[in-house]
Chain A
Amino acid sequence: MTRKRTAAVVVVAIAAILAAVAGSTKAAVAATPVVTIWTDQNRKAAVTQVATAWANARGATVNIVVKDFGSIRDNLGTVAASDAPDVIVGAHDWTGQLAANGLVEPIYLTPAVKKQFPAYTLNAFSYGLAVKKLYGVPTQIENIGLVVDTGLVKIPTSFAMLEQEALAYKKKASGNLGIAVQQGSGGDAYHMYPFFSGLGGYIFGTNSAGNLDPSNIGVANPKFLKNAPLIDKWNKEGLINAAVDSSTAQNAFLKKQAAFWITGPWNSQLLSSSGLKFKVIQMPKIAYPSVPFLGVQGFMVTKYASAHGVDQLAQDLVSNYISTPSAQLALATANGRYPANIAAGKQVNDPVLAQFGKAGTGGVPMPNIPQMSSVWSDLGAAWVKSTKGAGATKARVAFTAAARSIADKIG
C-alpha cells in the first residue's frame, strides 16, 4: 500500500509544480496596463507599428491579436470578458450591428479633429435609432472604379462613349467582353452598384433625423424603374453579363479580352505588375452620377475596455492618436488603401491609389445598419436575373420583386 500512497503524493506534487508554473507566468505580465487590439493578418504589421509607437509614448503596453477579418465582428459578442479586446480594427458597415449589440462605445472627437475627416467617413461610423453617435475613427477608404486599358481604347468621357467603345471591342473577337464586371450565379450587388446608382437606385432613404431608415427601400424607386429598361438593353447587346464572375473578369482584362474592368484597390498591385497601360476613373454618369459604394475601415473601442480598466487609454489611442495624419498615412499605405484623414490623403503619391481615391468622389458608404444583411442577396439576384443573357427577366420585374422580398425579410 505504500506504493499507492507514493503514487498519490507524486500525482499531487506534479500537479502543484505545474500549477505553480502556470500561475507564475501569469503573474509576471500584469504590471503595466495592457490594451488588447484585434486586427487581421493584412493589417497586423501596420497596426503593430502604430500602436507600439503610441504605447511607448504613453508608457502602456499593447497586445496585438490576429483574427480573421470577419471573426473580429462575430467573436466580439461571444468572447469571454477576460480575453476580450479593448480596441478592434474593423469595417464601418459593422457599426450598426455592433452598436445594436451594445459591444462598442461612443467616441467623442473634438471639433478640430472632426474637421480633418470628410463628413461621410464619420457618418459611415455613426449609428443610432433616435440619436446618431460616432462609434469609430476612420483610417482608410476603399471603393471600386472603372479601370480602362488605355492601350486599347480611349478614356470614355460619357456613358454613351463607354458603351460604344466597349461594344466595339467586344465585337473584335469571339471571347471578348463588353465591361468586365463580376457577378456569377450568386450575384454581386457591390460591384454592380455604380450601374445601380447611375440609374437612380438607392438602398435605404434617410429619416428626418438623418438616420438610415430600413422601411424606406429604394431598390425599386420610381426614378430607378423609369431607367431600368436600359439594363434590358445592356443585357441584349451584351455590355454586361451575369455569367462573368471574379476570375473571368480579371482574366479577361489581363488577357486583353476586355478593355474595361470594374474592380478595387485590392487589385492595384496586380494591375501595376501586369504591364498594361491603364487608368482608373469613376464610371461616367448614366442618368445620375455612377458612384461606387464606399468602404471605410477604422478603429473602435469595445465595451470591455471599461471593465478592463483601460477605457481612457483605449479612447486615447483611438481618438487622439489613430486620428493623426502620420498614423493614418502609415496605416492606410501599408495596406494599399487611401487614408481617411484629409491631410494624410494629400501625401499619398501612389498614382493608382490616388486614381482609385478620385474614382470614389461622391460615393455612398455602404449602409451600416444591421438590416443591410437582408439586401445583398436580393439585390445581387435581381442583377443576375436581368443580365443573364437569353431568357433574362425584365429588369423592372426583377428589381420590383427584390424590393418586395427585402421588405418581407426586414419585416
Chain B
Amino acid sequence: MSATSATPAVAQVEIPRPALIPRVLSAFSGTPGVVAKIVLLGILNAFAFWAMYVLLTRSHWVSVVVLALATAGIDLVYLAPTRKTLPLKFLIPGTIFLVGFQVIPIFYTVKVALSNYSTGHVITKHDAIQQIKINSLQPPPNGRSYTMTVARTSSGELVLLLQDQTSKKFYVGTTKALTPLAPSTVTSGPLGITAAKGYTVVKGAELFALDKTLQNFIVPVGKAGIRPQTISTAVELEPTLRYDAKRGVFIRLSDGAVFADNGKGAFAHGADELEPGWTTGVGAANFKRIAKDPLVRQPFLRVLIWTITFAALSVAISFAAGLFLAITLDKRGMRFQRVYRTILVIPWAIPGFLALLVWAGLFNDKFGVINRMFHIGIPWLFDANWAKVTCILVNAWMSTPYFFLVSMGALQAIPDELTEAGRVDGGTPFQLFRRVTFPLLLVAVAPLLIASFAFNFNNFNAIYFLTAGGPPQANSSIAGSTDILISYTYKLAFAAGKGQDLALASAFSIIIFAIVALISAIAFSRTRALEELA
C-alpha cells in the first residue's frame, strides 16, 4: 500500500494540471487501486488454481509445486505490508514476460535443434512402440471380417457375437476361443446379430464406455486374432512383428530379424527402419550436418552474401529515399503538406503480402504493367540479377514510409539554433546538412537502421511472395537466385528430404541468430562512438 501513502505528498507539490497519464494513474492510488489489485490478483490465483487442477489430473507433480510456490510468492509480494517488496512489484511482471516470450522460446529452439524432431520422429518412444504394434497387424490370406455385436453372458462375462460377412455363419468369441453359434438360437438383421439366447446385448452408452476394453479384446484364431474395429465390425488380423519388452526390440515373425533401437530414434535392422520412430536427443548432429552436407554447404556463402546485400541495400535505399522526402516536405508554409505526407505513408499501411503479390504482377516479364507501359522487355523476375534488383526495389518501396516518418520526427527534434549558427558562419546548405543535420540525425536514427537491417535479414515475406526464391539457379540446388538465409532454411527444412525437418530448421535459425547478433553488436558499438562525437 505504499502508493496510497505517497498520494498526499504528490498533492502538496504545486503542479496546476499534470499530464493525462499521471492523472489517470493517480486515480488508481486510492481505494479503486486496492480493488483493482485485489481483483487482478484474484483472477491470477483463479487461473493458477485451475492450472494446478489440470496439472494434478495429469500427475505433473513438480509443476504443481512450482506453480503453487510461484503464485504464493506473487501474492505475498503484492499483499505483504512491507516496503521491502517494492522493487519486486515492478520486477515480477517484466520477468514473467521475459521468461514467457524470450527464455522459453529460446530454450525450446535449442532443445529442438539438438533433437531429431522431423518427419517420422514426432512422438514419444512409448507411443511409437504402440503404433508399430498396431501397424504390424495384417489380415492373413483369406482373412475374414465380421459383423459384431457386443454382449454379456448370464455370468456377466464380455463376449463378441460375430457373423462372418461372406459365409454369413454365426460365432461367439471370447478372449479364449471362437465357437460356432447355432442359427436357431440367434436373431439377426442386416447389421448382424440383434439378439441371442443366453446373451444380453450391450448397446449405446454402455457399449461406448467399453471402448478401451474392446481395444485389447482379441479372439484367438490360430496365429491370428479377431479384433473389434468399429462399434459393429471386427476383423481377423495377424501380427507380423513381436515386441520383446525385456530386450526392448521388435522381432519380425517371418524371418526372426531383430529390430533394435539404433540410438537415432528408430528401431532398425541394418538400414531397414520401422515406422514410426520417436523424438530423441541427437546432440550436435544437426549442426554437423549443416557443416558437412554439400547440399547445405555449397550454396551457403552465396546465399549469405546475397542476404547481407539485400538487407543492407534495402535499408540504405529506403533510408536515403525517406530522408530525401522528409527534407523536401519539411519546408515551412508548403501547401497541401498533410496531403503529401498522407499519400507517402500509404505503402506502409497496405498489408505487406498483398502489396508484394501486386508487385509480382506488375513486374511480370511478359504481361506486367511496367514492361508494357515503358515498352521494354526487362526480365524482372526471370533473370537472376534483375530479380535481385526487383527484390531490393520493392522492399525499399515498402520501408521508405517508415524512414520518412522517422526522419521527419528526428529532423524536427534538431534545434534550429544549430543550423542558424552554421549559416551565420557562412556554411552552404549542403555543408550544413553534411556537417550539422546529418550527424545529429544519425544519432537518433542509427539504432533504427540496425533494427531494420536485422529485420530485413530475416524478411521471409519480401522474398517468398515476390519471387519464391526464384529464378532457379542453373546448376539447380535448393537455393534459388534470390533466396535469403531464412527462405533457404525454409526450403531446406520443409521442401527437401521427407519434409518437416524442424530440428534442422531450428539449428539453422540459431546460426542465423548468431550472424545477426554479431553484425548488430558491431554496428551498435559503432553507434556508441557516434553518440560520443555528438
Contacts and interface: CB of A to CB of B under 8 A. Distances in A.
Interface of A: 1, 3-4, 7-8, 10-19, 22-23, 32-33, 58-60, 74, 77-78, 97, 99-103, 105-106, 108, 110-112, 128-131, 133, 175, 184-187, 241-245, 247-248, 303, 306, 309-313, 315-316, 319-320, 370-374, 376-378, 381-382, 384-385, 388-389, 391, 393, 398, 401-402, 404-405, 408-411
Interface string B111-151: 00000000111110001101110110111000001000000
B38 interface: yes
Interface of B: 1, 34, 37-39, 41-50, 53, 75, 79, 81, 119-123, 127-128, 130-132, 134-135, 137-139, 145, 165-166, 204-205, 208-209, 211-212, 214-215, 228-233, 235, 237, 240, 273-276, 295, 360-361, 364-367, 379, 381-383, 387, 467-472, 474-478, 480, 491, 494-500
A101 B496 contact: no
B122 A187 contact: no
B45 A15 contact: yes
B472 A385 contact: yes
B381 A185 contact: yes
A131 B141 CA distance: 14
Contacts of B474: 385, 393, 401
A4 to B, nearest CB: 5
Contacts of A245: 360-361, 364
Interface centre among A14, A244, A376 (most CB of B within 10 A): A14
A184 B367 CA distance: 11
B387 A185 contact: yes
A376 B478 CA distance: 11
A22 B477 contact: no
A409 B122 CA distance: 21
A133 to B, nearest CB: 7
B38 A111 contact: no
A245 B360 CA distance: 10
A105 B132 CA distance: 10
Contact of A401 (B240, B476, B496): B476
Contacts of A131: 138, 240
A108 B139 contact: yes
Contacts of A102: 122-123, 127-128, 131-132, 135, 275-276
A389 to B, nearest CB: 7
A97 B211 contact: no
Contact of B499 (A15, A32, A187, A373): A373
B468 to A, nearest CB: 3
Given A10-B38, A244-B367, A409-B478, A97 B498 contact: yes
Contacts of B475: 401
Contact of A243 (B135, B230, B365): B365
Nearest to B464: A186
B366 A313 contact: no
A185 B43 CA distance: 53
Contacts of A17: 46
Nearest to B213: A309
Contacts of A410: 497
B122 A110 contact: no
Given A319-B230, A384-B470, A402-B476, A370 B382 contact: no
Given A4-B81, A315-B230, A100 B119 contact: yes
B410 to A, nearest CB: 38
Contacts of B212: 306, 309
